[in-house]
Every structure is written in C-alpha cells, then in structure tokens.
Amino acid sequence: MSTITSTTPASELGEFLRTRRDALSPEAAGIVSYGMRRVPGLRREELAQLAGVSVAYYTRLEQGQSIAASDSILDALARALQLRDDERTHLFELARPRPSRRRRAPRPEQATPGGLQLLDAMTDVPALILGRRSDVLAWNRLGHALLAGHLAFDAPQDPAQRPNVVRMLFLDPHTRELYRNWDAEAALVVASLRFVAAHYPDDRALAELVGELSMNSPEFAALWAKHGVKLCSSGTKRLHHPEVGDLDTHYQALHLPDADGQRLLTHTAPRGSSSSNALRLLDDAMTVGAASELASESAPSQ
C-alpha cells in the first residue's frame, strides 16, 4: 500500500511512471504489438524507446533508484506517456521535490478575511472555503444545507472537529449517499488529493490524513495506490439530496490569493433548470426552518 508517510520522492516518482506506463496501451502509443503480452500497457523498453532514453536509465527511475532526471528527459517521458497538463506538473514535482524541512506539529488553518468576506456575500450560491487538506474552514448557509445538512453549521469553527470533505466521502454514510456517482466522485477526490500531496510533501497533517484513510477505507487505499492525478478546478456534481432529490451542480474551485492552498468552492446550476429549481427549494426550506427556529427561541417560556 502506498502512502506519503512511508515512501520517498524517488519511489513516488517510480510508482507514478509505472502506473502511467501500465495505463497506456501499445495501440494508443502507436506501437505495433505481436503475440501475447504479459503486461497491460507498454513494456519498459518500449517506453524508453519512445522517450529516447536508455532502458537501464529508465529502469532506475522506475525502481526509485534515481530522481536526477533533466527537464528534457521529463518532457520526453511526459510526451511518450501522453500525460495531461496536470499530470505533467505532478511528474515534475515528484522529480523536483522541495528541500525537505523538519515536520512540525500542524497548525490549524484559518480562512482568510478576504475569503470569508467573499463567502458572506454569496447568499444565493452554495459555497464553502476549503483548506489545502480539504478541511472545511467555513461554509455559507446554502453550502452547508446542500452538502452537509446533517452536521452542525458551526462545525468548521472547531479545528479539532471540523469536517473534511475527503474523510466524509469515504467514512460518512450520509455523504456517501449524497453522490449518485460515488465511484467516479471518489476517484476524482483521491486524484486531487494526490496532486496536492506532491505539492506539499512536508505537510504532516496531510500525511496523517492519507494514513488514516488508507487504514480505514480499503476503497481509498486502492484508489491511492493507482497514482491517479488530477487538478480539479471545475466539473459537475451529480447529487441526490435527501430534501430536494436529484440535481446536478456545476462546481468551480477558485484558488484564493496568498492563502497557501485555500480555495473557494461554489455550486451553481443553469437558470430555469430543474437543478436550479431544486437549489431554490432548498434555499426556501432553509429560510423557513431558520425563521421557525428564531420564532421558537423568541417565544416566551410558559
């Protein structure tokens, strides 16, 4: 099982290269294949030939014996493996790890004042602020109602108990039931987490999160071992909400400036669509519930 707590940059690089090589078929790479093949993707010698490097040198890279690859070699490997832009970025981060620093006890993240001000202004859009480790640092009323109405609204205020969207997806049954395509959502979230993990290799809390999930969720461990990587900035969430039913929302992750990995996550739907109507119904229900709660608190005791 591969985790960032038990591997080195060299072994992470080797595993990433191997999984991407296994995923690329000879046909997609333009290689004519004859006879039976004992590997699902390209052979090492085939990839080495496509990238213009020696088999011995590529083998050392894949076996975690070296990370001293030049930019030109990394570019050649990225082209041969047909990596996406985010995968190429990940490859370079693994091959160019930041100087190792002593891991200190993680300090709780706090949403920036500018991010909170922007969140407070978004009254009609479900939104939340996520830290680099996908902890929920803050959410607005509609974001809370859409994604985690079963939790207390003030849960993000306690760093020791604040929700984490990755942990919730794998370990919280209510969150699991929220996604109509849980398998695809899980793969996407793990790929995003691995992208972040390579960018912050000395983040102790992030390493602990990966270790916790690897121990408690076989599904997470299996996905983490695949070394999938994706920078998730936008896409579609296919939800089944317990109050308003099925809806599809378009999410947008806006990285906040000078916030060290914090991002504002919004959910919208096309005006006039059934999903937009569902969000409006959720907003109305939330407003009625808040008014009823306020009236109950204001009523004189008997």
Averaged over 6-34, what is the pLDDT?
84
Query: 199-218: per-residue pLDDT in tens?
Result: 888 888 999 999 999 999 99
Other CB atoms within 10 A of residue 60 CB: 17
Largest interatomic CA distance in the chain: 87
CATH classification for the domain delimited by 113-296, as one of 3.30.450.180, 3.90.550.10, 3.20.20.70, 3.40.50.2300: 3.30.450.180
Does the pLDDT of residue 239 top 90, yes or no? yes
Other CB atoms within 10 A of residue 52 CB: 12
Amino acid identity, position 87: E
Place of tokens 């039931």: 177
Locate CATH 1.10.260.40 in the chain.
9-95
Amino acid identity, position 68: A
2 pLDDT tier (thresholds 50, 70, 90):
very low
CATH code of 9-95, in short, is: 1.10.260.40
Crossing angle of the two packed helices 218-225 and 204-216, in degrees rounded to 10: 120
Least confident stretch, 57-66, 91-100, 258-267: 91-100
Locate CATH 3.30.450.180 in the chain.
113-296
User: What would the two tokens of residue 156 be?
Assistant: 């993000």
Q: Please, what sign has the CA dihedral across residues 29, 59, 98, 210?
A: positive
User: For position 4, what pLDDT does the model report?
Assistant: 41
Averaged over 229-243, what is the pLDDT?
93
What are the strands of the beta sheet with 136-139, ordered from one edge? 136-139, 127-130, 263-268, 245-255, 234-241
Rounded Cα–Cα distance for residues 259 and 254 (Å): 11
Does the pLDDT of residue 294 top 50, yes or no? no
Task: Note the pTM of the prediction, 2 decimals.
Answer: 0.84
Decide: 22 and 1 in contact? Cβ < 8 Å: no
Query: 28-77: per-residue pLDDT in tens?
Result: 988 877 667 777 789 999 999 999 999 999 999 988 887 678 899 999 99
| Of 258 and 83, more confident | 83
Decide: 190 and 220 in contact? Cβ < 8 Å: yes
User: For position 80, what pLDDT does the model report?
Assistant: 94
Rounded Cα–Cα distance for residues 38 and 43 (Å): 9
Q: How far is CA 284 from the centre of its chain?
A: 31
101 pLDDT tier (thresholds 50, 70, 90):
low
3 state SS of 138? strand
Decide: 130 and 165 in contact? Cβ < 8 Å: yes
Averaged over 137-159, what is the pLDDT?
95
User: For position 3, what pLDDT does the model report?
Assistant: 41
- Got the DSSP string for 233-283? -EEEEEEEETTTEEEEEEEEEEEPTTSTT-EEEEEE--TTSHHHHHHHHHH
